[in-house]
Structure 1
Amino acid sequence: MDKFISGKIALNEYIQRTRSNGVSFYIHYWGVMPQHYNNLPHKHSFFEVCYVLEGRGTYIDQGCTYQIEENTIFLSRPEVLHQIKSDTGLFLLYVGFELDESESSEKWVTIIEEAKQCSEVVIDVKEDEAAPLMWKSLLIQAANSESALFEEILSNLAHSLILSLIQTFVVSSNYHSQKTVPKKSSLILTLAKLYIKDNLSNSIKLTDTATYLHLSSRHLSRLFKAELGISYSEYVQNERIQRAATLLKTTDLSIRDIAQETGFPDVHYFTRVFTASMHSSPGRFRALYTKLKTVIYKD
């Protein structure tokens, strides 16, 4: 408890604003109240979020009464009349904040407007969820004012906590529609592409990559076709050609060595495939590129 109180004092001294990734918040206060009983009905011009560490009581929001207890988080919205009551006392963590619209994107203005209208203002969480853990970590970190990068760590933690608290109460369709949720298959394809890139000097058969990813060859083959529009073998050959082109432009390796480095079985096959793809033989490609890089001309 002493650490939380020390942390609260430091936060109020150092963290009055957070800003990152297109969103900025004013922090009006950080609070730690070991024994909170009753207060009068009141309202704020900003958001206040409270987290119950211990105790039981009620929260009244626009005439609706909610039971609150350990690991309850509740939201007081701007200009909404609310009240907290407890006969036995509540151990509360709380923070008051508002969006700085002048330094925030339109997306965040929309999200905050949704937060003002959200219907679920009291939520039970688990103590090992992100927001409770972050809040406690922030206070503990704030109590250690002699740590290196003290203010930078506090600012980042505080900003992340505010974002997490907003996320707790707001499910914004507008926000999520702007985020592309990666499909599981896309992650698999990314891993496949990395494996191919890191093993180009080997044969890298479809069965090898599929085995590495714990997939069937058929499934992996379908992923390449569905997501890239080309077959697995076409993708590997394209990667070999691109790597070979890079080596021709940036190294003095012989064409035979480049063929070996990029996984072609022999220099003749490499030359044939490279010429068909790049419309230039490897030797001519290197010569043309070398001339393009020349900046001093002599008669």
Structure 2
Amino acid sequence: MNNNCTIIKMIPKNNIYGHEISHGFSSFKHWQQEIEFVYSHKGFIEVEVDNCIFNIQESEMLIISSGALHNFLASDDNSIIYVVRLPVDDIASNPVLKEEVVEFFRETMMVSEDKIIKNIISSIIFADLARYNEYYSSIKGAELTIHLINNQNLIKKRITPATVDESETIVKMQLFIEENLHNSITLTMLADYLSFSNSYCSKFIKKKTNLNFLEYVKTIRLREAEEFLRTTDMSITDIAYSTGFPSIQSFNRIFKSSKGTNPTGYRKSLKNK
């Protein structure tokens, strides 16, 4: 078991999300293999999971199941949101308990304010992981899980979202698109790479991601573009073309329709924080 914990401290402002640690974060629709714990330290945040809206108030927590398609929507200007991602294998390294833990986290859950949860999340967020051994975050994740299983009255709402199957094919598909973003990716290119027919490839994407082919590619392009805007000084033009948008006008229009502001405005809002 390795310490595969990802910690993100999101500081939203005007619904544009900055963060202290950017790796792996996206406010566009996305999914990940880990269990995601979204805790509101201050203010509120709205999260959409499989077309269901969760409004997380201060000191409440949302647990997003592995493979659930989700995105962050709106928040207070002064919100501070903590996100912790942990692989279920690290939370439940004991084979006897793993089945119960996997089943428990199959649902996305809204959790009420609780002092013990607050302390556990804070201990992970503010831990000096360089000083602790590699199991620290996993132990804390297991501690949080046991507390939740034993106190299920804290769970305000549950849904069982359609999840993205974490098969080898899905991973290959996503990597192919990411590695060819600068090209004009077609359904035929992807289908040939996966040795699928066009028809089967289209149905496969829709079934596994709840998006059609063009929407899925667009989501990945936007996610990568957002990361470049946050973490590099690349020009807007270079970002647009490196992520496969056919023109600056197209990039600006699609980005604004998803984020409510154009790429220039988005980057400016980050620099003003």
> RCO (CA 8 Å, sep 6+): is it higher in 1 or 2?
2
Higher helix share: 1
**TM beyond 0.5:** no
TM-score per shorter chain, which class?
Answer: 0.3 to 0.5
TM-score (norm 1): 0.37
How high is the TM-score relative to the length of structure 2?
0.40
Tell me which structure has the larger Cα radius of gyration. 1
